[in-house]
Amino acid sequence: ELLRAAHTARLAGLHRAEAAALDVVRHLRDERDPHRPRALAALVDALRELLLVTHRLRSADPDPALIGAVRHHHRPDGPLRLYGVCREPVIGPGGLGGVVTHLVDDDGHAYTLPDVKPGGPARARRAGTAHVALRSFLSDHFRVSRGGLIVTGAVVAPDGRLLPEPGVRATFAAGRPWPPSDPDPDGAGPTGSLTVRDVEIAATDGEDLLVRVLPGRAGGPVRLAPALRHPSLAHTANLRRLGEHPGLRIRVVGRLDPDRVTTLRPLAVAPVPGTGATLCLPDDWQGRADLGYDRLRDDHFPADPPSPPEPAP
């Protein structure tokens, strides 16, 4: 019924109502997926927006903002210089599976290369090394996530997706290290919609990790929870490995949980420069590990166990 309502709104030119209905559908599907973390706050916000817009339209409210606007694809004036951040496995409703590779430009604007099709968890597991589908560009998601791209004739969807439209050309380019920890704990930083944190592992709590944000920020511990808990992916196993090394310092790229403000869903980890008690990753990983795909091993950890963190006062 919601999809039918969205279609009716589109035919009537009610773009904001259409978008609100589609948002509710998307969040409902996410909530039904047993492998995705709960995001009830986002669902409540989407439902509130839909109810507000439809009520005001039925009341003949003259506010032009209720109509909304068509969201057009963006075509940058010049080439896009993008840097890989990480790969994120995707398991979606209806048997969908695949990967999204996250990239950013020099200003921190986020872009994605999605590759999600029918195939479920098995395809999500394989897609991390699949070829990138961007016209005639020949590479794979692993290489792009560690390196970068120069895209000419780019076509970008409103949500940041790079679209394989005619005329798009991409060439491989060098990557760059992740930036330091974000100064704004609640905002997007140089990795776009994802956030960067330097943390010290304190303890485990079931499948989650309890960590302290560095450097010595006031407040209680932050929880790192698996982005996906499906057994065919490596998130849970990698967090378990990290939890065996209290006192280890790592740089984390992840997504803040909208329902739990002190919970971060990590997508990838890297060493913290300038400290011995950190990860030692293979050269071909380019200094980072995607937690859904790359499996941490004993030789990725310091030979001398780090000193456990001191209890919080």
- Give the Cβ contact number of residue 109 at 10 Å: 16
- Residues near 193 by Cβ (< 8 Å), separated by ≥ 6? 110, 160, 255
Helices 2-11 and 15-32: crossing angle, nearest 10°?
A: 160
Write out pLDDT tens, residues 255-301: 888 777 789 999 999 999 988 799 999 999 999 999 999 999 999 99
Q: What pLDDT does 190 receive? A: 46
Yes or no: say if 124 and 89 are a contact pair by the CB < 8 Å rule. Answer: yes
- Mean pLDDT for the stretch of residues 90-113: 89
| Mean pLDDT of all residues in 205-229 | 87
State the average pLDDT over residues 169-192.
69
Write down all domains in the chain, each with its CATH number in brackets. Answer: 2-66 (no CATH), 80-173 (no CATH), 195-300 (2.40.50)
- Mean pLDDT lowest for which of 19-28, 63-72, 218-227, 252-261? 63-72
